[in-house]
Structure 1
Amino acid sequence: KSDAAVQFIDSALEDNFIFASLSSTERRLLIDAMMMEQVPAGTVIIKQGETGDFFYVVEEGHVSFAVDNQHVGSTGRGGSFGELALLYNCPRAATCLANTVCRLWKVDQKTFRHMLANNTNTQQKDINDVLRKVPFLAELDDRDLLRISDALTSVTFPEGERIINKGDVGEVFYIIREGSTKVHDIGFGDSTYVDQPLGPGDFFGERALITGDPRVANVTATSSCTCLCLSRDTFEKVLGP
């Protein structure tokens, strides 16, 4: 796909609730899986009552929607329809008719679910690999590591937001999933250190899980940054103090 096609599909997915929780990586995988189909005017793309498994994004053309033969709406370039088929094996709620020649990007339920499952497995392995880099977590068995991984929560910080303030009591450990941060104003006593840029797969704040020591540096998001977070309280509940 061209860069323009990728940007177009990505923009079309932005406001759809089904894809709101996908990471940018997952959305790109979904976009890469979508195939182009051109249909002539008069084509019934979806028929009410039939079980369907395709989701569509309209690149060119005009599509009308009807329920029980009554017109209920339409869409054109940038519009999408059929998304519930990616989640459920249920009858289509409306008939979708191509009023003009249409160019449609489409993906089916099997591909969508397979893509998410594969990406979830890859992410799980990546998270476990990061956790094993943390000295006091490295010796945990796979079961305990999975329990920690399952307890992680995702938080997104806008560019410029201070994630950690130097001197504050540490309560949360962070793994960068997407984006970048800078560790700065690092100091231990009279010693100072150069700023440290961090990116996906890096982690910071790990001492918060085992000590109540004040933070020794500031950490600021240098781009929109999504982190997987684990609080000390959750860590102790999962593994015990």
Structure 2
Amino acid sequence: MEPVMTRSGADLPTRRIAADTVLIRQGEAGDCAWLIQSGELEVLLDGPDGPRRLGTVGANAIVGEMALLDDGLRSATVRALTPVEAVELSRDTFRALRGRCPPLTSYLLESLVAAIRRSYGLSQPERQEGGAAIRSSDSFATVADRRMFRHGHSFFRQGDEGTAAYLIQSGSVGVQRDGADLGVLGPGRIFGELALLANRPRAATIVALEATVCEIIRKDQFAKAIETMPPILRSLTRIYIEQLSGGRLLPHHAEPARTDSP
């Protein structure tokens, strides 16, 4: 697994947390994440039948970052089973890391977090439209090809192999699964990226509802873009991809994240 922490993170103060302390509570707003130095914590998901334990995390895990990445609510509850030492990572820290990402990779990270939230049936924050900002980036212009697609064009069908993702610049597309209409995507939305990143078949059929202009992003270009991310976000991206490709139900923060040098 790629290291997650940068050396600057290791210089942040370490807090001692007593056993039975709830660090993160599902459904609440988040203002920090935690890099665990020592101790053991359990991850709980609230459901109609009460809390369900998803797993435990220990030294070098990072918890609580999803709410900072997409401004959503906490996706699970995390409670200390033993005394814990952890480094607190503020929202400003994550904002600074996001600011170092090319627009495409920042948006990709949001897509992965949204997919994980969907896998748990959790609510998702409203995504900001971002197509123009992504297209205006010089780094993005080197990895994408802009094309216009006619009304009725089928970008891909459910079950197809993934070869490219698409960023809508103008127009709209319809999303269908098992013959049912799931919704409409418009300018600023990326579709088709999860099949590329997770190496799985297309989960839905996508059809142009009108003349639509898209940027086409190839699989190898996604990989190159991810390499430009700060180490902590690059590793989180790979952790999310592994979870989605493996179909595991443990939350992303159950993966260990080791310290790294810049």
**TM-score, normalized by length of structure 2?**
0.37
Q: Tell me which structure has the larger Cα radius of gyration.
A: 1
Q: Which has the higher contact order (CA 8 A, sep 6+)?
A: 2
